[in-house]
Amino acid sequence: VGDETKTREQLIAEVEDLRRECASIQAGERIHEEVLSMRSSEDIVKVVAVMWREMVELGIETPGTSIIFVEEGTDWFPTYMAMDNPHRHGIDWTSPQLSEVDERVAVLLPTGGFETSQSRERLLEVWREKRTESFVDNFSISDFIEFLGLKGDCEGLLEGLGGEWTVTNVPFAHGTVGYREREFVEEHAAVVGELARALSLGYVRYLDIREAEEQTRQANRERAAERVRAEAMTMRSGDELRNVVAVMFREMADLDESLLECSITFVNEDEDRIAEYSACENPRKYGVFWSHPDLVEMDNEIVVGVGSHVISEREDDYLERWKKGDVWSFELIGETYWRAAKKLYGMEFFHPRFPEKWNVTVLPFSQGSVSLNVPEFSEESVAIAREFTEALSLGYTRFLDFRRVEEAQQQLIDELEEELQTAREKQMALMPKGAPKAEGVHLAGRCVPANHVGGDFFQYFPREGGGFSVCMADVTGHAMEAAIPVVMFDGVLESQMAMGVGLEELFERLNDLLCTKLDERTFVCFAMGEFDTERGLLRLANGGIPYPLHFHRNSGKIVELEVEAYPLGVRSGVDYPVIEVQLEPGDRVVFCSDGLAEAENVEGEIFGFERTADVVRRGCVDGLSAEGLIERLFEAVRDFSGETPQGDDMTCVVLQVEG
């Protein structure tokens, strides 16, 4: 009986061994199938993900697996780490290195990665000796969370991951597979070794695909250089140089994935200055933000740094080499580079793809040089950059020609701006310096031209025997087209007012004079009110100005003071009627030019007379002063218009009876 029992146990063990062997074979086949489905070098990530998934399915309780591919003769050891997808646990992340493969698996891409406790030399030693290594290590959950930028409740994802682990590294033909277990299990290491054979095949296929992709990049090289040439040929301003260096970096990075940074230096010996434009990968991808205006974000992928300085002695070596015209290179220490970046842009940042030191290759051209920051000097990179440099040189020569024209145009613009500013000062001089002092009455006015100069103005005139007149004018047209008639009309008005004529006669005289002085397309909208302070009586005439608004304090209502007549200068011999309005204490009369009511918003809707009247009424009810009421109205128009440019002059005058 004992022998039979032993035989049965042996059979069960053999069956279990066979089951595990079959499962391992099937897992290897699934990895192999994933290898065969690879269509680009990026698909190696999917193979890594399947590797970890199959390890877990075979009973290896590991939170993740690190696969390090060894490329001898280089300083680049691409490391991939497959792990449980944080999204399964409602956790997001900020690290761009962590890539979601599917709902279950995420893979940390080889960009410098999460540091292991193993040195590079030790890794090579283990790999070359083809021996499995196992050692004890502590896993820091806090460092892991910080590195990946995990966002959310990480308890479900990282539960039980802290503390002491046994790390096992299993070598295969092209690298090592590393994984963590609480205790070393020899059978698991053997299983991983079997799976690594399929993984090795995947890496061989990866190398083949990468070679094919390199051939494709070679075929695209001329087209890439042509795109740089086209961008350089479109330059019309200094700002567009940023676009050129961004395109150059993008095209070169597509052809040479090792490119870290691309810079263009322009030497202006006439002005004794050097300008530099440097493009690199966008630091925002790594959670780094900045506010310095000289570091410009071109898109999600590329930033361009811009700098300019006077040539100093430190450039002597550069200038000497540049004038010789030969390509040269030098080694740059990362610490020096990042210290300079912090000084320039005030940004603490270390790019994970940048090694501790790297090569800078400089290719001179007639107006400056192109610099490449790459891990190691490469003749291929130089050949690509030389084609781009030739394209850039041609485009920059055209740019210099355009800049000379641009500078001449700017000089003309500056002269015109100066003339317009002088004209504006003269127009503003037409406005009253202050309101006349009259007992029981308060006056305020404001004019905001749409351009430097415009066609609106207002004025106050004291009257003999007490009282005063207030007027508003709006000449057709804008800017200089309206400014000249405004100055002429102001002179005519001053002379007529000095003669002391009445309101009816004043309008008739002004109209007849303007009909002879102005061309048929120009006329003047004009309104004037004479206010008798003793009687509180306002006499009003109006030729084309929007109806003034009369606020009655007793009723709280707004009434339009309607007076119909042609604008001045349209037709001679026109009569201009005058109306009389009795004003009570607390009443207000508000004159508004059409520029306020006709202000538009981004949808093309106008502010409108109803909205104007409503703002005025509410401001009066609130007890605002004359100045406060004007500010309320202009603020309402600004809020309504938003970013829409002002289309017409805006003028407002308020007459307020105190009490």
From the list 607, 611, 613, the residue with the least C-alpha distance to 552 is 613
Q: What angle do CA 255, 261, 264 make, to 5 degrees?
A: 100
Specify the 3-state DSSP secondary structure of 308.
Answer: strand
The per-residue pLDDT for range 396-436, each reduced to its tens digit, is: 777 777 777 777 777 876 776 676 666 666 667 778 888 88
CA distance 374 to 640: 53
Q: What is the rounded distance in angstroms from the CA atom of residue 601 to the CA atom of residue 646?
A: 10
Please say if the pLDDT value at position 549 is more than 80.
yes
Edge to edge, what strands does the sheet with 468-475 contain? 456-462, 468-475, 524-532, 537-543, 579-582
9-54 tens-digit pLDDT: 777 777 777 888 888 889 889 988 888 888 888 888 999 999 999 9
Three-point CA angle 375, 381, 383, nearest 5°: 155
User: Which tokens belong to 140?
Assistant: 């820091």
Stronger pLDDT, 276 or 433, i.e. the higher one:
276
Ranges for all domains in the chain classified under CATH 3.60.40.10: 431-657
Domain with CATH 3.30.450.40 in the chain: 234-404
**Is the model more confident about 146 or about 11?**
146
Q: Does 115 score more than 70 pLDDT?
A: no
Q: What is the mean pLDDT of the chain?
A: 86
Whether the CA torsion 91, 92, 98, 104 is positive or negative: it is positive
Does 452 score more than 80 pLDDT? no
* Residues near 128 by beta carbon (within 8 Å), at least 6 away in sequence: none
Domain 2-210 has CATH 1.10.10: no
- Single-letter code of the amino acid located at 159: E
Phi-psi region of 11 (alpha: psi -120 to 50; beta: other; left: phi over 0): alpha
| 598 vs 578: CA distance, rounded Å | 26
637-646 own/partner pairs: CB under 8 Å, 24+ apart? 637/596, 637/599, 637/607, 640/599, 640/601, 640/607, 640/611, 641/599, 641/600, 641/601, 641/607, 642/601, 642/602, 643/602, 644/599, 644/600, 644/601, 644/602, 646/448, 646/450, 646/595, 646/599
Instruction: Give the tokens for residue 644.
Output: 């829409």
Question: Going by CATH, does the domain composed of 234-404 fall within 3.30.450.40?
Answer: yes
Can you tell me whether residue 599 is helix, strand or coil?
A: coil
Residue 456 has pLDDT above 70, yes or no: yes
pLDDT at 1: 43
At 163 the pLDDT is 79
Which CATH code of 3.60.40.10, 3.40.1190.10, 3.65.10.10, 3.30.1330.100 fits the domain covering 431-657?
3.60.40.10
Report the side by side order of strands in the sheet with 295-297.
295-297, 302-310, 273-281, 261-268, 368-374, 357-365, 328-333
The mean pLDDT of 565-586, rounded to a whole number, is: 94
